[in-house]
Amino acid sequence: MFRGTNVAARVFERQILTPRPGATINLVRHFYENLVPSCTICDIDCPDHSFRKITDDGRYLVSFSRNLQDIIVYRPTWLSFSFKGGNFDYQSLTQKAKKFDSFFTQLYSVSLGSSSEFICKDFFLYLEDHQFGLFATSTAQSHEVPAIEGAIHGVPSIEKITFHLVRLKDGVVMDEKSFCNDFVNLAHSMGVFLYEDLLCIMSLRYQTIHILQVRDSGNLVDVRNIGSFCLEDDELFLNSHAQVSFFHSSRSLSCLYESNQIVLIKHSNALALFYYIARLVL
């Protein structure tokens, strides 16, 4: 049984797959697992939405409203019409077969944006079990914000970036995570990576990687930040090392000062002795 979801990978695997011992053929009595489109139907009565993608399990079609305030999720109804192949005239399809509602059913519509925050239409991630989806909203970015608190010069700033964890089956917002006065590259999810239940968010403005865990309960839990410090005790170690270095440097300066004082006293004594001997001779 093919386990990949990529059609090209399945075709390639079918070509190189060897038969089982004692068999002369590879696969028998298998249903089609992939249906390749053979035609395109134009002028479909379709909602005025910005469609993002269909999840790889084929259960959800994710789209955004034109004002980038709401997410609208549809469920495919799958095969609704059938006809014999050959010289079939696709133009003779009924009007019902040319409507969007005949193939997709709206599950819910959830508002994530606000008057100042808008949904990033190029950003959408979901977990492998397709239980939760991750969406992002942000305010307009600014290039005139001063770099403070360790921020990098020349990097734009976004007043607020919010990540929303949504349960895909019913649209319930389970948790949110916000970043203020920061910059994360949300275009095509370039600044965010999801591996199993670990979520990594790259802050370009502060050069920090935020690692979060997506719990089964639908919570986003902070795991670790990798930036100026990698481990939790790095700051303590560096501070203690700095104190030890300062102590040794202070001790060295003190020893140098004492040594200079001794040399100065010896020089003064030698000079006084020289003058005393000179008087006796003269």
What are the counts of helices (DSSP H) followed by strands (DSSP E) for the chain?
A: 2, 14
pLDDT score for 144 = 77
- Going through 77-156 in order, the beta strands assigned E by DSSP cover 104-111, 118-119, 125-126, 132-138, 141-142
Distances (CA, A) of 2 to 7, 14, 19, 37, 59: 10, 9, 14, 20, 19
pLDDT score for 212 = 94
CA 256 – CA 259 distance, rounded (Å) = 5
- Would you say 92 and 50 are in contact if contact means Cβ atoms under 8 Å apart? no
pTM, two decimals, is: 0.69
- Going through the chain in order, the beta strands assigned E by DSSP cover 49-54, 61-65, 70-76, 104-111, 118-119, 125-126, 132-138, 141-142, 157-167, 173-182, 192-195, 198-203, 208-214, 220-226
β-bridge pairing 173-182 and 157-167: antiparallel
pLDDT score for 262 = 56
- Would you say 227 and 207 are in contact if contact means Cβ atoms under 8 Å apart? yes
CA 185 – CA 190 distance, rounded (Å) = 6
pLDDT score for 215 = 94
pLDDT score for 94 = 66
pLDDT score for 1 = 44
- Which of the residues in the chain have pLDDT under 70? 1-5, 18-20, 22-38, 80-97, 229-235, 237-238, 241-282
pLDDT score for 154 = 80
pLDDT score for 2 = 43
pLDDT score for 108 = 94
pLDDT score for 169 = 92
The sign one gets for the Cα dihedral 63, 160, 182, 142 is positive
- Would you say 43 and 98 are in contact if contact means Cβ atoms under 8 Å apart? yes
